A = this chain, B = another copy of it.
Amino acid sequence: MGRPRKALLDRGRIGRTALELVDETGDFTVPEIARRLGVQTASVYHHVEGRAGVIELLRERVVDDLDPAALGVRPWDAALEAWAHSYRSAFAAHPRAVSMLMTSPVRAPRVIEQYERVAGLLLEAGFAPETVMPVITGLDNIVLGSALDMSAPEVMWVVGEESQAPRLALAQAATGPARADRAFELTLAGFLAHCRGLLGA
């Protein structure tokens, strides 16, 4: 609606349209992207390598919202902390894309470049090579689990009658809407402290 039917097609527009569809419906198909852009399905395939290629364009759109300064912070743990916050905000805007992006291999050069910087940061800090991927993956899981949780309802556990789950009701009332943010801060703090301990050991 309101889009020119013969708009110039480029990879940026394909990625943005795929992301819009995922935000709205939880998924995309290449014919749906073509329809929304007013072009033939074959034209989309001319610009991108299949469905997996579209997922990478979509991934680049989300990752473009990360703060590029975060990974320049020092020391390494402050960089990871800043990156985790920025990364969580970027993905919280697109919770329906999280699952798709977590289960498809990362090929997008701009995203590979971010992880290369994180791997370099950890190696320079003194982490053993075999510990670098577990640290990166652990941080990814915390961030993306929390990004999904940010789109959860404010009251996540609906206790029908308080007598049925009195301690859960008490705990929910005590935290209120701060639940998601406090969970993230607590988990990230524990994670970074543990990583500092791994370096010291």
Contacts and interface: CB of A to CB of B under 8 A. Distances in A.
Interface stretch (A30-38, A68-76, A149-157): A149-157
A175 interface: yes
Interface of A: 26-27, 95-96, 98-99, 102-107, 109, 112-113, 115-116, 119-120, 122-123, 128-138, 140-146, 148-149, 151-153, 155-160, 164-168, 170-175, 178-180, 182-187, 189-191, 193-195, 197-198
A70 B142 CA distance: 23
Contact of A183 (B134, B153, B168): B134
A91 B132 CA distance: 25
Interface of A, secondary structure class, is helix
Tell me how many chains of this kind the complex includes: 2
B148 A144 contact: yes
A186 B187 CA distance: 12
B167 A123 contact: yes
A131 B156 CA distance: 16
A95 B113 CA distance: 27
